[in-house]
Structure 1
Amino acid sequence: MQRPRVVSRYLDAAGPRVFAHRGFADGVPGNTLAAFRAALDAGATHLESDVRATRDGIPVLFHDECLPVGDASDGAGRSIPAMPETGALFSGRAIRSLTLAEVRRVDLGGGHRIPTVAEALDAFPDALWNLDLKAPDAVVATAKQVWRAGAADRVLLTSFSEASRVRAVRLLPGIATSASSIGTAVLLLAASTGRPALVRAVTRLLPGTVLALQIPERAGPLPLVTSPLLTTLHGAGLEVHVWTVNERADIRRLLTLGVDGIVTDRPDVARAVVDVLDVFEALGPPHTGS
């Protein structure tokens, strides 16, 4: 049975957007409820996380394919000792090899646990989520949980895999997505011509609703994010979100250049930069009269 088409509000609010990469690992492990709460408290506009599925098909928020070996880290290089019984039992195990009951026993450090997608959506009912589908077996499971939570209008699903992205948009027609790796490459090639109409035409050929490109600033020595590129993509109605940017000067430079969002481990820093830029924009250009 075809689900009703999603009417997304994911990008309705004015930018710039601050995407908290795995939440805000400020003394707590990333991709935990505590990290997401810290991110919102720090001023993040969007929460970014990663999804994998357990052996029994439950989507959970976890980046790596396997659990860490030994102690966890809070994201700033500080070790958080894990509970010895769970560390010994599950250290290095793949998420897909564990049931949800087993995953719930895993202590990432300081008593923090791996949340399910359903738990995260329920814990932050007003938050906007950027969910990266890390494995094909997470696609259907995630789509089901997003739909059941009534959260499809506030979630963007993304994946490096075009097959995973397409499967997601077929399950949830109209849900917001960003371009996959191949989609990004094609759109960047189209944008290099400086023709927004061509980019719009290519975007229409991609299944589903592609609202943004989420890209690094550079690909090796090659700069990806340039003023002409942004002008062309914006002219085609696409946003550009740049990952993963943590330094204040880099965040300021990219926002001044015109990017729409910053994916960062430091939402507190990004928020502070955005607030300062908002003040200067409100003041307007400097007075140069005599």
Structure 2
Amino acid sequence: MLQLPKVIGHRGAAAYAAENTLDSFREARRRGATWVETDVKLTADGVPILMHDASLKRTTGVDRLVAQTKAGDLPQGVPTFEAAIDCLRELGLGCNVEIKPCEGREAETARVVVEVLRRRWPAALPAPLLSSFKDASLVAARETAPEFARAILIDVLEDDWRGRAEAVTAVGVNANGKKLTAPRAVEVRKAGYLLGVYTINNGDVAKALVGMGAQCVITDTPDAIVAALD
């Protein structure tokens, strides 16, 4: 059974270092995180990299779509997924890998992500958790590498949440903590799913969500949330 920590650093420790970078992973480790969450998408030539947005502009200043950029043309500081795994090994960090495909590449991105995980994930680290807002990505991940646990990402839990979870054989639900209601939290836990919440940077809010049943808080400020929950 997958064991998640109480706190996961969001995109590393995004409040303190550039998100989805190796420096952000190191900062998360320094601030008490034992796991991080990161986004993976594909370049034009199919190389998995750490990036949240469809465009490179917000995080690098380069106004270009990831899907139209080859790996060799990426701005400095954008890590490949393989480099990220090497860094996680060095730091001893577990990882919630969010499959964040460019439009139309949902299945392709998932297949590449799990192929790299199968080949490179360190045996000494806890098994990773795969998550995505895209059900097609989670289906492709399950079909290609069913051994990796999956969680659906949901902004607002509607009545169809369980059907979505069952369709991808998810073990967990990662919900927007700012929109999660207590009845839905109880429903998720009673149904036997792991419950994570994102992106919570306030200690009092984190404690309230844990009181509602959340088992894992994804945060930009892992030090603050670790201190609050301890």
- Letter of the aligned partner of 2:3 in structure 1? D
Please give the secondary structure, in 2, of the residue aligned with 1:154. Answer: coil
Query: In the alignment, which of 92, 111, 130 is matched to residue 157 of structure 1?
Result: 130
- Letter of the aligned partner of 1:237 in structure 2? G
Please give the secondary structure, in 2, of the residue aligned with 1:246. Answer: coil
Q: Deviations over 1:137-187 (max 9, x none)?
A: 4222211111111359621111111111100111111211112559x6455
Residues 26 and 38 of structure 1 are in contact (CA less than 8 Å); yes or no, is this contact kept in structure 2?
no
1:269 maps onto 2:224 in alignment:
yes
Q: 2:167 matched to which residue of 1?
A: 206
1:12 maps onto 2:19 in alignment:
no
> How far 1:63 moved relative to its partner?
0.6
1:122 maps onto 2:86 in alignment:
yes
Q: Distance in 1 between matches of 2:152 and 2:165?
A: 12
CA RMSD of aligned residues (A): 2.6
Q: Deviations over 1:187-240 (max 9, x none)?
A: 54x6xxxxxxxxxxx5884233x1211111354xxxx330x4333322322111
**How does 1:1-290 map onto structure 2 within 5 Å?**
11-12=2-3, 15=5, 17-68=6-57, 72=59, 91-103=62-74, 106-107=75-76, 113-125=77-89, 126-135=92-101, 136=106, 137-151=108-122, 154-181=127-154, 185-186=158-159, 188=161, 205-208=166-169, 210-219=170-179, 224-226=180-182, 228-275=183-230
What's the TM-score, normalizing by structure 2?
A: 0.85
Residues 139 and 168 of structure 1 are in contact (CA less than 8 Å); yes or no, is this contact kept in structure 2?
yes
| Unmatched segments (≥5 aa) in structure 2 | none
Q: Deviations over 1:23-56 (max 9, x none)?
A: 1135531110010111122112321111110111
The percentage of counterpart residues that share the same residue type is 28
- Letter of the aligned partner of 2:14 in structure 1? A
Please give the secondary structure, in 2, of the residue aligned with 1:35. Answer: helix
User: How many residues are aligned here?
Assistant: 221
Larger of the two Rg values belongs to structure: 1
